[in-house]
A and B are shown apart, each in its own frame.
Chain A
Amino acid sequence: MLVPKEIQYTKLANPNLFDLLCIAKYFIMSSVDTYSDPQEALADIRSLMSRSGRFLSLSGLSGIWAGVCALVAVTFAYMKANILPFSGVDYYTAFYRQYQSVEAIEPYVFTSGLITMVVAVIGALFFTMRRSKRTGYTLWNSASRSMLINMLVPLAAGGLLVIAHWYHGDYGYSAAITLIFYGLCLLAGGRYTLDEIRYLGYCEIALGLFTAFYPGYGIDAWAIGFGVLHIVYGMLMYFRYERNA
């Protein structure tokens, strides 16, 4: 092998030694692609898995906001039908007792529900976007896309099922259906975000099934499921992941 001029008069000029050095260099170069420190490897794995696999920008504040919106809406609903929490009177009956007619119930429940949902979603989006800006995670990635699609399916199915029930003049299961399908929607989305959301899903489903047996507590179950549970979940997530971050 040709020894370069720079090292001609040094110890390295020994051709055998130079060959050896070249071979060693080759191995060092070829191993650049590997980790020398397992700790570094683990840290990289962790950051990669969190960056694109899961949607981590979901803010706990979004949950708290949604919960507060739900509680405000339910309070108005209590006042509208003039009932107290946990009275065990189903909303349909209470509404009839108050107004001697139930014609107004569908538009009222529908519009107030819609307004609550829109306000809750806008607020949730705001907090989540703010968080995503702070942490530097992208908001719209393959994880959030899959999450959205997977969540929309059970959510839309549940919504249509409620409308079908209304269509047949049946109001008793509205709370049960919305809670159960919302829980399923959270379970479906749970694969793409932090695991804790699944527990929220299980709670919503359990609550929904309870109110399927006791429809009189439908509106109370709504208050707990969409209000209290969201706030508890949101606070838990906020204090666990965001406050110190």
Chain B
Amino acid sequence: MSVKKYLNQLDKLLDSRVRLAVMSLLVATDWVDFTTFKDELGLSDGNLASHLRKLEEAKYVELRKGFVGRKTLTSYRVTELGRLSFQKHVEALANMVRNNS
């Protein structure tokens, strides 16, 4: 079976290292706040925010705004669609590995 077939199954949105990392963190837990992402992934605010926005626009994550003292702190949670897409993407990756080795 050609690799091409699997390439089609890969999720374009989850091709990005950052977005894949964000989703990996989210599917394993519940709400994750912005600061935790930043610490865990070592990214700048702007970069991280733009990736999170893309995931949010695709309805892969939902967000909740809270307050820590006076500052707003946004938390994110994976949606059902996001979880499904992530699973499909990981499965496609695993298939690629399995059929290439």
Dominant SS among interface residues on chain B: helix
Could you tell me the dominant secondary structure of chain A's interface residues?
helix
A195 within 8 A of B: no
Task: Give 19 CB contacts A-B under 8 Å.
Answer: A33-B17, A34-B16, A35-B15, A35-B17, A35-B20, A38-B94, A41-B93, A45-B21, A45-B90, A48-B21, A48-B28, A49-B25, A52-B25, A52-B28, A52-B32, A53-B25, A54-B28, A54-B29, A142-B36
B96 contacts chain A at the CB level, 8 A cutoff = yes
Chain B interfacial residues counted at CB < 8 A: 22
A9-49 Cβ-contact flags toward B at 8 Å (1 or 0): 00000000000000000000000011100110110110011
For residue A54, which residues in chain B have a CB less than 8 angstroms away from its CB?
28-29
Do residues A143 and B29 form an inter-chain contact, with CB atoms below 8 A? yes
Interface size for A (C-beta < 8 A) is: 20
Q: Tell whether, in the assembled complex, residue B21 and residue A51 are in contact, meaning their CB atoms are under 8 Å apart.
A: no
Name the distance in Å between A128's Cβ and chain B's nearest Cβ.
19
Interchain CA distance A146-B32 in the complex, whole Å: 11
The 8 Å CB contact of A53, one of B18, B29, B90, is B29
**Chain A residue contacts of B48, Cβ below 8 A:** none
Q: Is the CB of B28 within 8 A of A38?
A: no
CB distance from A57 to the nearest CB of B (A): 15
Of the residues B17, B29, B93, B97, contact of A146 by C-beta under 8 Å: B29
Q: Is the CB of B96 within 8 A of A48?
A: no
Closest to B12 in A: A34
